[in-house]
Chain A
Amino acid sequence: MTIEKIEENGVVTLKLAGWLDTQAAALFEEQIEALDPGTPSLVLDLAALEYTSSAGLRQIVAAHKKVDGRLTLKNVQPEIMDVLEMAGFLKRLHVES
């Protein structure tokens, strides 16, 4: 699991790659905690994310709260999309197709 952080014009993009399992979720959590709550826009780029457990999803909810809803998911792969849907997240999160 790797997380790459890119800041550009106030937009913070976190590129998640690999397996976001319960262990890796801790790494993700650190990144979320380090975020400035005033970040105008947070983007999670999931192009290379192969797997996520509920721990990973919980951190996505945490991130959503932290930036007060200014969160966008992009490049969501079909398998991850299934999990998001199963968790009922698609109705609440902004997913860029």
Chain B
Amino acid sequence: MKRSIGKQIVLLFSITLILTILASAALGFSSAYSAELEQNRTVGRSAAYITSDILNTIGLDLIMDPQNDLAYDMARMQLRTVCQSLSLTYLYVYTVDADEVRHYVVTVASDDVLDETVREGLGLGAVSREPLHEQERVALAGGESDSRFLLNNRFGRTSVWTTPYFSPSGKLAALIGADVSVEVSNDAIMKQFLVRVLPVSAFLIAAFLFLYFLLHRRLIRPLHTVAARMEQFDPSTENEPLSIRSQDEIQQIADAFEKMSGDIRRYIRNIETITAQRQYERAQLDVARRIQYGMVPASFHDCRDGVDVSGLMRPAKEVGGDFYDCFLRPDGQYCALIADVSGKGVAGALFMALTKNLVRERIMHCEDPAEALNSVNDDLCAQNPEGMFVTLFAMLIDPQTGAVRCANAGHNPPVLLKRGAAAYMKPKPGIALGLFPDADIETETLTLAPGEGVLLYTDGVTEAVSTEKTFYGTERLLKLTETLGRTDSRAAVTAVEESVDAFFAGCEQFDDITVVAAYYTGADERTALALTLDAFEPVKQKILSECEGSANAKKIVLACEEAFVNIVRYANATEADYRVMREGELLTVELRDNGTRFDPFSETLKDDDEFLSMDEGGLGIRFIRDLTANAGWSYVDGRNVLTLVFRIR
């Protein structure tokens, strides 16, 4: 607190008090002064009056007669009585000649010592050439001055009243001077002054102290109490109610503060409750989201006999409703499907989970995709109180022939990926699942040549919005797919993802982005191998590209090289081939040769102790066993078939 109200009031009061006292002192002094002046004048006049009377009685001429000591002494004696009785310092009679020189007639003093001095020094015949005072001139002119003048000479400090003396004949005969001691006069003034000022000041000071006491008790102290309580306010602890014990504004402030702190405590408790609830809900939502995204992997790759399939989903911020699914049916048909569930959030996620499982189960068990979707539709319609729906495109590829059967439930038309060309398929639109019990979705067919494929996507791709508020659009997607050429499925989905990313760079992703590319690679992907050591190079490159970025890549190459070198060196084969297949995180390498029937895994392993004979061989088979997750040998149609399965990670 920089300036307390108490101190400010004390300061203000003190200034007022001092000013008041000063003013009252000034007034008191001036009134005491004028009272004293009046008193002084009365004394002066009385002295002049009585002196005139004495001079008349004795006769000025007789007094001034140097031969008549009797008259002089009598006059002195009488004047001295007057002087003493009126408390004058001096009383004197003098004449002024034409040269303005004073000629003293008689001078007396109240004090005995002074009287002796003036009797000698200012007796008859003494002169003074001091310049005349204004008051003396007035008296000489016969007037009576209303004022006095101050003298400060060897006879002391006195104030002088000068009065003219008129002889009985009415002629101005002399001047009478009556001196009052300045000290005496000042004492009188001081006495008057004190009498007037002291009680007032004492009263003012007492009043001030009383007021301050009242103020302190009724205003400042309660204010401090309230302020201290406000400073110590802690919403987490309850306080005793404030006791101010007054009915004034301070009480009002204290009551208002009590109410406010109660409100704050209540609000904080509310906020804490709400926050805890929110956290709980968010945690629940996070779990839901994790479960949902667990159902749909962010990226998926499956490369096997005849098909090469990749899927990708990039969820938007909110829980979205896209999903895709790729799986092999027991009858060897490969299914790839994509779907977009209406609605987001938890409702969308639940509906998605329901639909995804339902669809997979039906496709597994129905011969025909349309039959599966119609069946799913019936179930969704029957258990869909919220009226949600899902658009879906499902296709079954025959890995042997490339024959495709597909069914569309109101989903965006997929892109047909042909060598050097691309075009949108024109499937029957169908209708989204979950809306009407009789969807009547139909199966359509087409046949893919080896190297051709289908690109499935959701509207998160075509309706991606750029900073310029334009849509990514179907045309752009088509142009992109035309440039894909004969490529593998992973490159295709990555190209779409990168293109969409570049398109909406800087904008928020509004919708899930989901893409699936499914290629028919041809019935047999086996590649012939020459039986020379340098023929291993393309196998190595294929493995490295399939396992790109994996720490295990070189170990997989190592095991395969050992197997291949064994074939070249010891099998006596004339023909060999290989194929590499990827399924999720597993890589399968199959080597075939028409050489001597030989099971490499039948050999017993050399012991570590035979280190020094290891330069003769035996390490290769050890590596193959150690590095594979699963390895097998079979002899089919006159060929050794070595199957090595590796974990990519």
**A-side interface residues toward B, CB under 8 Å?**
21-23, 50-55, 57-59, 61-62, 65, 79, 82-83, 86-89, 91-92
Contacts and interface: CB of A to CB of B under 8 A. Distances in A.
A53 B554 contact: no
Contacts of A61: 611-612, 614-615
A23 B536 CA distance: 10
B526 interface: no
A91 B626 CA distance: 18
B603 to A, nearest CB: 14
Contacts of B265: none
Contacts of A92: 611
A88 B620 contact: no
Given A50-B554, A61-B614, A86-B622, A91 B608 contact: yes
Nearest to B532: A23
A52 B616 CA distance: 16
Most chain B Cβ neighbours within 10 Å, of A21, A82, A91: A21
A51 B558 contact: yes
Contacts of B614: 57-58, 61, 87
Contacts of B260: none
A61 B608 CA distance: 13
Most chain A Cβ neighbours within 10 Å, of B555, B619, B626: B619
Contacts of B190: none
Contacts of B558: 51-53, 83
A28 B540 CA distance: 21
B549 interface: no
A82 B617 CA distance: 19
A2 to B, nearest CB: 17
A51 to B, nearest CB: 5
Given A22-B533, A54-B619, A54-B620, A86 B626 contact: yes
Contact of B562 (A51, A54, A65): A54
B430 to A, nearest CB: 53
A51 B623 contact: no
Nearest to B569: A22
B475 interface: no
B608 A88 contact: yes
B561 A58 contact: no
A89 B561 contact: no
A59 B534 contact: no
B631 interface: no
Contact of B561 (A53, A57, A88): A53
Given A22-B533, A82-B555, A87-B614, 19 more contacts: A22-B536, A22-B565, A23-B533, A23-B534, A50-B554, A53-B565, A53-B620, A54-B620, A54-B622, A58-B617, A58-B619, A61-B614, A62-B615, A65-B612, A79-B551, A86-B622, A88-B611, A91-B608, A92-B611
Contact of A79 (B554, B562, B608): B554
B557 interface: yes
A55 B612 contact: no
Nearest to A26: B533
B544 to A, nearest CB: 11
Contacts of B534: 23
A48 to B, nearest CB: 14
- Majority secondary structure of chain A interface residues (helix, strand, loop or mixed): helix
8 contacts: A23-B534, A53-B562, A54-B620, A54-B622, A58-B617, A61-B614, A87-B622, A91-B608
Nearest to A23: B533
Contacts of B536: 21-22
A70 to B, nearest CB: 15
A79 B620 CA distance: 17
Given A86-B622, A87-B622, A91-B608, A51 B615 contact: no
Interface residues of B, number: 24
A42 to B, nearest CB: 15
A55 B622 contact: no
B231 to A, nearest CB: 64
Nearest to B619: A54
Interface string B614-640: 111101101100110000000000000
A86 B565 CA distance: 19
A87 B551 CA distance: 19
B576 to A, nearest CB: 15
A86 B623 contact: yes
Contacts of B562: 53-54
A9 to B, nearest CB: 28
Given A53-B562, A82-B555, A58 B615 contact: yes
Contacts of A82: 555
A34 to B, nearest CB: 17
Interface in B429-482: none
Contacts of A57: 614, 619
B557 to A, nearest CB: 7
B565 A55 contact: yes
Contacts of B612: 61, 65
Given A54-B620, A82-B555, A86-B626, A22 B561 contact: yes
A14 B626 CA distance: 29
Minimum-distance CB pairs A-B, first 9: A54-B619, A88-B608, A61-B615, A58-B615, A54-B620, A62-B615, A23-B533, A92-B611, A22-B565
Interface in B560-612: 561-562, 565, 608, 611-612
Contacts of A79: 551, 554-555
Nearest to B558: A53
Interface string B163-203: 00000000000000000000000000000000000000000
A10 B124 CA distance: 153
Most chain B Cβ neighbours within 10 Å, of A54, A59, A79, A86: A54
Contacts of B617: 54, 58
A89 B533 contact: no
Interface in B122-171: none
Nearest to A93: B611
Contacts of A52: 558
A51 B534 CA distance: 16
Contacts of B616: 58
Nearest to A52: B558
Interface string B524-542: 0000000001101000000
Nearest to B617: A58
Most chain A Cβ neighbours within 10 Å, of B565, B614, B616: B614
Contacts of B611: 61, 88-89, 91-92
A27 to B, nearest CB: 12
